[in-house]
Structure 1
Amino acid sequence: MLYYLFRFLEQFNIPGSHIWSYISFRALLALILSLMISAWFGERFIKWMKRRNISETARDASIDPFGVEKKGVPTMGGIIIIVSILVPVLLLGRMRNIYLLLMIITTVWLGFLGFMDDYIKIFKKNKEGLKGKYKIIGQVSIGFIVGLTLWLSPDAVVRENITVPQKSQQEVVVKHKAEYVKSLQTTIPFFKNHNLNYSDVMSFCGKYKVAAGWVLFVLMTIFVVTAVSNGANLNDGMDGMCAGNSAIIGFALLVFAYVSSHIVYAAYFDIMYIPGSQELVVFLSAFIGAMIGFLWYNAYPAQVFMGDTGSLTIGGIIGVCAVIVHKELLLPILCGIFFIESLSVIIQTQWFKIQKRKGKRVRVFRATPIHDTFRRLDSQLDQTSTYILKGWPHRPFHESKITIRFWITTIILVAITIITLKVR
């Protein structure tokens, strides 16, 4: 809203009004504003929740050895994150931008889905929360909406990058096609000719390969949104864990969004030029500010938990943003922590089921998601089960140490992800 107000005032030569056209100014302002909102609103939200005794019950000591300390801590702190993102974006963003609208819809949609889950757990006293099938339906639905919009919207276009060999044949120059097109290309890491076209994957469909490619793209979007959202949800098991990892991942996506929106930088990194994606920089700046601001209260010992209201929303935002900037195939590296968390749960549950059919109780890890393995005490293990990796790790760690080491791992993964743009 403020963007349009000051652009209007610029017609009357009002001093300083032109600065609102600079993406760097609006992005930094969004970062500062989201930090201030999360700090101010967060404190009042926590007090309000405590007065109404809306808090986390004591956790199972067999899962969380530090759970006794967390009794009475308010949950549903994802509301702080959502408010801290939406207010700056609504004030500073260009609301006619299709990508910004998709990010806002994703935030509200998954925020509501997570809120319903937390509401059932707290007010209905049902620890299972919202049934899993309804969560999946909600995640699949927003993935379908995003994928279909990127397919059909005339505003979701790119200028594809091409390489032009020079006369010397020793080097090439990257240029972008003049026309704006609907593109099914996406970036592949570590490959010189590093764009994958979904229509090429569906080439067996003959003359219908483009339509089939878009169907595959929509299905990929659904998968990405659902997988990353659930991965973030699993990662939210320790104070500050998910918020810190998400802020770091958000920075990498901000870099991708910025270089994709700048035709010179896009040529330098040999990636597609995506006009309009600069508004994602404003959104992601607010996202990072909200994450850092939330850490003020969520770092160990936590004064508030984000709950599914926050974790489902965070994962969805990351997934949708990656799809918009055509970097979804980089997510296994960028969101490596989320990927490992999800993979550990799948391995643990499936291996246990297989062994149980043979009359055995065999588990791979001491506990899952994988971060729980590092804090599980030997005395808390199921004595009726056999553990393949019982001796790893050699000793349990305090959750604050585990959290920081996971942050460091994410920083390394983010660095590798950005490097893939040049190493191929």
Structure 2
Amino acid sequence: MIYHLLYPLHTTIAAFNVFRYITFRTIYASLTAFFICFLLGPWVIRRLSAMQVGQYIREEGPKEHQKKAGTPTMGGVLIIFAVTGATMLWADLTNRYVWITLLATLGFGTIGFIDDYLMQVKKRNLGLTARQKMALQVLLALLIGLLAYLVPDFSTKLSVPFFKRLTPDPGWGYIPFAALVIVGASNAVNLTDGLDGLAIGPVTIAATTYMIFAYVAGHARIAEYLQITPVAGCGEITVYCGALAGAGLGFLWFNAYPAQVFMGDVGSLAMGASLGTVAVITKQEILLVLVGGLFVIEALSVIFQVGFFKMTKGRRIFRMAPLHHHFELKGWPEPKVIVRFWIIAIALALVSMSTLKLR
């Protein structure tokens, strides 16, 4: 809204010409989202506490986690509000990709909110069933994939990291592929959200990484120079990614160990879907496996653990899954697990950015 209100005035006041620059608006979208979280965080935490929306801690988990029981959850509503508000203020709202990404954020956030609400407020132990939750996610992800597909000149060719000439084109099959990316990312972040700040840190890192990819893909000359798929209009997603990174930092202020609030499914499902949608729009879908490699590792640890347990009738690969609990049970203090996983996320992000040149 600020962009639409002030940029047209640049013909009268030259200083307002600065609003045309995506980099300028991205910086202020980040700061806006950060301060929304920072300023509203204490109020949101008080409201959630008053509503007795406290985190349930399963008994079979690490014993140290029992002291976290009752910590306010559903704090993801704060992240979503900050991201949406900052994007609405600083992005070009005539851009279709901006609305597609906001649909993913709000849509998956709504699914997570319903699940959290049924579990935490209505005290239904399981919230939505796994089948209900997955069905809603798949339907919404298919809609997002379809909307991206219908954008004029949107390419369905896939970019394979490190291989500039390998660009398979699934055609209509791109829509279910995009849905797979979005749903997979959403649930992978959800599985990672098990320790204080463990999920929001890598989400912020991944958002910052895709902020660079969005800017590059949206700039025809740079995209041509780096030999990546140009996406007309994709540059505005840089503003969204900046807002997501800023909101992540603002939420981390309260979610850092020891956490004052947890994001809940409303936050983790929305943040994961947002990253998946941005990966689809920037034509870096496959690269998300590397950018969000930490989330992939956490998800695979659960898949392997469950599969091995069923195949061997009770044996386990890890002491507990997801993987972060395995290291806790090995004796690593929670802060050490968190920071080391952040380090892994940063390293993977740096490797991902190297693909801009290594082709």
What band does the TM-score fall into relative to the shorter chain?
over 0.9
1:232-381 matches, within 5 Å, as: 232-356=189-313, 361-376=314-329
Q: 2:7 corresponds to which residue?
A: 7
Give 1:193 shift.
Answer: 1.6
Give the strand-richer structure, 1 or 2. 1
Describe the superposition over 1:140-171 as per-residue Cα deviations: whole angstroms up to 9, x where unpaired.
122111211122232xx2xxxxxxxxxxxxxx
Map 1:180-199 → 2, pairs under 5 A: 182-198=154-170
Give the equivalent residue in structure 2 for 1:226: 183
Per-residue deviation, 1:101: 0.5
After superposition, the CA RMSD in angstroms is 1.3
Residues in 2 aligned to 1:18 and 1:41: alpha-carbon distance in whole angstroms: 31
Unaligned runs of 5+ in 1: 158-181, 199-212, 377-394
Q: Which moved more, 1:286-295 or 1:143-152?
A: 143-152
Structure 2: which 5+ residue stretches go unaligned? none
Asked if the contact 1:65–1:375 (Cα under 8 Å) also holds between the matched residues in 2, the reply is no
CA distance in 2, matches of 1:248, 1:278: 19
Q: CA deviation at 1:15?
A: 4.4
Displacement of 1:315 in angstroms is 0.5
CA distance in 1, matches of 2:214, 2:53: 38
1:172 aligns with none
Give, as a single letter, the amino acid of the residue that structure 2 aligns with 1:422: K
Which amino acid in 2 is paired with 1:191? F
Equivalent residue, structure 1, for 2:349 = 414
1:177 paired residue number: none
Which whole-Å CA distance do the structure 1 matches of 2:98 and 2:253 have between them? 27
What is the aligned residue count?
359
* 2:164–2:227 CA contact under 8 A, matched in 1: no
Q: In terms of mean alpha carbon deviation, does 303-312 or 136-145 score higher?
A: 136-145
Q: Tell me if 1:30 matches 2:2.
A: no
Using the TM superposition, give the Cα deviation of residue 302 of structure 1 relative to its aligned residue in structure 2, in angstroms: 0.1
Residue 61 of structure 1: how far off its partner (Å): 4.5
Map Cα deviations across residues 106-126 of structure 1 (whole Å, 9 max, x no partner): 111011100011111112222
**Equivalent residue, structure 2, for 1:178:** none
1:404 is matched with which residue? 339
2:208 & 2:356 partners in 1: Cα distance? 15
Percent identity over paired residues: 36
Code of the aligned partner of 2:323: I
Using a 3 Å threshold, how does the CA distance of structure 1 residues 28 and 362 change in structure 2: closer, same or farther? Answer: same
* 1:415 positional shift: 0.9
Amino acid in the other structure paired with 2:258: P
Q: Name whichever of 16-25 and 308-317 sits farther off.
A: 16-25
Shift of 1:373: 0.3
What SS does the corresponding residue of 2:168 show, helix, strand or coil?
A: strand
Q: Which 10-residue stretch deviates more, 118-127 or 96-105?
A: 118-127
- The structure where helix makes up a greater share of residues is 2
Change in Cα spacing, 1:16 to 1:307, as seen in structure 2 (3 Å) is same
C-alpha displacement of 1:260:
0.6
Aligned partners of 1:258 and 1:277 also within 8 Å: yes
**Of 81, 91, 94, which aligns to 1:93?**
91
For 1:279 and 1:54, how far apart are their aligned partners in 2?
Answer: 36
| Deviation (angstroms), 1:197 | 2.4
Structure 2: distance between partners of 1:255 and 1:32: 17
Which digits, 9 at most, give the CA deviation of each residue in 1:259-290, with x for residues without a partner? 11112211221112212111101100000000
Residue of structure 2 in register with 1:174 after alignment: none
Q: Distance in 2 between matches of 1:21 and 1:287?
A: 20
Q: What TM-score do you get using the length of structure 2 for normalisation?
A: 0.97
- 1:89 and 1:286 in contact (8 A); partners too: yes
Rg comparison, structure with higher value = 1
Instruction: Measure the CA separation in 1 of the matches of 2:325 and 2:101.
Output: 31
Deviations 1:76-129 (A, max 9, x none): 000010011011111111111110000111111011100011111112222322
> Which of 128, 131, 139 is matched with 2:126 structurally?
128
SS in 1 for 2:132: helix
In structure 2, distance between residues paired with 1:106 and 1:197: 24
